[in-house]
Amino acid sequence: MRKTARTIFVLCLMILLAGCGAVTPIANSESEFGTLSAATEEKAVAPEKVVIYAPASTSSVPVILAAAKMQNVELVLYTNQAQANTVFLRGDAQILVTGLSVGLDLHKNQAPITLVNTYVTGLSYLVTSGITVNTWADLIGQQVYVPFEGSPIEEVAAYLVRQEGLAWKKDIAPVYSPFDASIALLKEGKAAAVILPEPMVSLLEGQPGISVSLDLYDEWNRNNPAAQGYPQVGSFANSQWAADHHDIVDQFSIYLSGSIEQVQGDPESAVDAVIEHFKIPAPIMVSALGRTRYQLLTGEAMKNGVQMYYQVIGKELDETTEGFFYSAAN
């Protein structure tokens, strides 16, 4: 299962998929809430169109807002990770927003990819049906559904279980299942515990017998008191393109920072600005944003944060990842 799940990233280097998932292009326009000087603003105009691919989830709300502030930028929301990887790898998108481990796997498979920033540090929750769970020990002898073997969700769950003196796969048995299938089983009472990201959690909350039991962000912080969650989602760029377009890359991170502040300070207005791009009711979007933790990291802070995360979970990075981290000085 692990080999099958990870092989998809290698295949993306060789296969050009013509259209195996929904994509939604979003036209951008001038925005009134940019906070940069006129000189800096001018640098944000790319000499050619810049295409950004981001997942069609609430984690992309700040990305939508940031892209709308930039000129000559097209944002595409994707629902198929393999397709998004392929579009990025063949050069049809310059920036790919995705999970940290997705980008790292592409890098390990020799893809020309660099991590520009990380910005989501809390997104996943243990959702249960028909059982009460206050600690991981309450799940001894139970099955927990995760998306695939070796997924970031499983990595963190296994770490948290170990922190309670338990053995992942022994005391608690993972079941590998796509989110849609796991949610269906949860609703039917055939799955007792599933780890899910937002907005799926908010969509399930309040349904009969279903509880949001553990917040992986809080669990991580409990075991790492100085932390504010762990890096989960980031922005990646084509390495050569980033080296040739420092102004655009850095501008994107600046706008993303401002958009995160907007989302955190006034989630309702942020939802109003992006709701047309989602099929989720606005109140649920607001709830999902309230459960999504953001912390933008770039440069050395980003590099240190990512290295520390992998060190903590027991998968320390080696020297081959040096070129994985973007630096404006390069």
Kindly report the CATH class assigned to 124-223. Answer: alpha beta
Nearest-angstrom CA–CA distance, 117 and 52:
14
Give CA–CA dist 5/253, Å, rounded: 30
The domain defined by 2-122+232-324 folds into D-Maltodextrin-Binding Protein; domain 2 (3.40.190)
- Nearest CA to 84 out of 236, 306, 305 is that of 236
Beta bridge partners, 23, equal: 78
With a cut of 90, say whether residue 144 has pLDDT above it: yes
**SS3 readout for 92-103:** CCCEEEEEHHHH
Which residue has tokens 């243990």?
126
| pTM of the entire predicted model | 0.83
Q: Would you state the structure tokens that stand for residue 14, as one six-digit string?
A: 């060789």
Which residues are registered as beta bridge partners of 253?
Answer: none
Tell me the domain boundaries of the chain.
2-122+232-324, 124-223
pLDDT in tens, 19-49: 333 444 543 333 222 333 333 344 445 567 9
CA-wise closest residue to 231 among 59, 106, 31:
59
The DSSP secondary-structure symbol of 110 reads: T
Higher pLDDT, 149 or 190: 190
Rounded to the nearest integer, the mean pLDDT of the chain is: 87
The vertex-238 CA angle with 108 and 154, nearest 5°, equals 40
How wide is the angle at C-alpha 79 spanned by C-alphas 77 and 84, nearest 5°? 75
- What is the C-alpha to C-alpha distance for residues 326 and 310, in angstroms, rounded to an integer? 18
Higher local confidence (pLDDT), 4 or 125: 125
DSSP element (H, E) containing 138: none
The reply to whether domains 2-122+232-324 and 124-223 share a CATH topology is yes
Q: What is the mean pLDDT of residues 222-230?
A: 95
